[in-house]
Amino acid sequence: MRCCMSGKRDDALLVDDMIEAASRMVTYASDVPPGCLGTDPEKADAILFNLAVLGEAAKSVSPEIRSRYPGIPWAQIAMTRDKVIHHYHGIDWSTVTDIIERKLPAILPVLRSMRDEMRLPQRRGDEEV
C-alpha cells in the first residue's frame, strides 16, 4: 500500500490496495493445512488485517466505480470488514477460508482488469481526452 500525503486516495490506488490485500491473504493461507487457518496467531492476525484493509478500501471506492463494476460484491466485502473490526471475538474461520479459497480468486482478475482500465488514458476517436 502506497502512502498518499493528502489522506485521500483515488480509485486506482484503492483498487491497488484491494489487490494487494487479497493477494497477501491468498499467499498467507497457501501453506496452511485444511481446517487450520485460524490456529497460527501471526497468520491469523495478518489475514484479518488484510480483510479489514480490503473492506475499508472497497468502502472508499467511488459510487461511480462501484456501479461500473457490479461483479465485485462491494457490500459483502464491506460487511466482512465490519465483522472483523466490530465482532472480532466471533470470527468464523471456515467463512474466512471460503473467502480466501473461493471468493478472492474470483474477484482478483476483475480487480486487476479494473486497475488496468483505470490506468489507460480515455480516448475519443484518435484524440486523448
Q: For 63-110, how does the pLDDT look when each residue is reduced to its tens digit (9 = 90+)?
A: 999 999 999 999 999 999 999 999 888 899 999 999 999 999 999 999
Q: Which domain holds residue 73?
A: 21-119
In a domain, 96, yes or no: yes
In a domain, 31, yes or no: yes
In a domain, 5, yes or no: no
In a domain, 2, yes or no: no
- In b/e form, how buried is each residue of 12-32, taking b as 16+ CB within 10 angstroms? bbbbbbbbbbbebbbebbeeb
Count how many domains the chain has: 1
pLDDT at 72: 96
In a domain, 125, yes or no: no
pLDDT at 34: 85
What value does the mean pLDDT take over residues 6-23?
A: 89
Distance CA(35)–CA(52), nearest Å, equals 22
Confidence of residue 8 (pLDDT cuts 50, 70, 90): confident
pTM: 0.84
In a domain, 10, yes or no: no
